[in-house]
Amino acid sequence: MIDSRKIKEILFSLGADLCGIASLDRFDDTPRGYHPLDVLPTCKSVVSFGCRFPVGTLICKSDIPYTRVRNSITSKLDAIALDFCIEMEKYQIVCIPIPTNESQWDNNTDRWRSIVSQKHMAQAAGLGTIGRHSLLITPEFGSMVWLGAVLCEQEFEPDKMKEPLCNNCNLCVEACPINALENPKIKQQACWEFAFGDDGEEKVWRIACHKCRDICPHNLGSENSILHQNR
Ligand code: SF4
Ligand code: SF4
């Protein structure tokens, strides 16, 4: 018999730093086509997990370490999701991994979307809450956490959802160089065009902006106090 405690035990043993479970009634407001049931019609639970992201990348003068970690952590999350699905099959439970960093253009909402939103699954699973900057904020690691998820055919005890962690201080809105956060919904295209792309001189693809993440008072979380302590 496998229960929610065992689910977490398996995910932590595979390398996750956070893990939570969501019931499907928490996805009632999901845009059409992006509900867990649109991907797995027999889905009964969503398991979301996170891996911490090294906070030193936030104060680094070069864009390269942040970019490289972001590129490699997505593979780590996909590998954990894959291994978890295989492990669950040993218990006769069918699960499917949701890719961590893969999106498709949605004509209905004019934005890139994952087949199910990682951030919304994480919020529904009680990992944290989505802030004004449209990133997930967790109590443990702030927004320095990357997300993975798995849809399961079995129902598990869901975790309690968190109270909002963003206090609407507006610092992220004011810090954005292109005003991509002036409306409640982030201007995704504008942000991506500005923040992602080739370096002008060396033609190296990199992430050149994370100012909204840097400025947020909740960006580190309780487990990342090292950055506060050391400077
Ligand atoms: S990453 Fe940069 S451009 Fe995008 S919303 Fe944040 S501050 Fe604005
Ligand atoms: S900077 Fe302020 S408004 Fe923006 S996400 Fe953080 S707490 Fe919320």
* Residue 26 bridge partners (DSSP): none
Rounded CA separation 186/134 (Å): 7
Write down the pLDDT at residue 101. 85
Measured from the Cα of 181, ligand 1's closest atom is: 5
Tell me the pLDDT band of 159, cut-offs 50, 70 and 90.
Answer: very high
pLDDT at res. 225: 73
User: What is the per-residue pLDDT for 228?
Assistant: 64
Q: Please report the pLDDT score of residue 200 as a whole number.
A: 67
- Cα gap 23→46, rounded to integer Å: 7
Average pLDDT on 155-175 reads: 96
Do 19 and 149 form a contact (C-beta atoms < 8 A)?
Answer: no
Share of the chain above pLDDT 90, in %: 74
Name 107's Cβ contacts closer than 8 Å, sequence gap at least 6. none
166 lines ligand 2 (CB under 6 A): yes
Q: Supply the pTM of this predicted model.
A: 0.93
Instruction: Assess whether the C-beta atom of 213 lies below 6 angstroms from ligand 2.
Output: no
pLDDT tier, 108 (very low <50, low <70, confident <90, very high otherwise): confident
The two most distant CA atoms of the chain are separated, in Å, by 57
Ligand 2 atom nearest 181 alpha carbon: 4
Lowest model confidence (mean pLDDT) among 91-105, 173-187, 203-217? 203-217
11 CA from centroid of ligand 1 (Å): 31
Looking at the CA of residue 133, tell me the nearest atom of ligand 2: 5
Q: For ligand 1, say whether the CB of 135 is within 6 Å of any of its atoms.
A: no
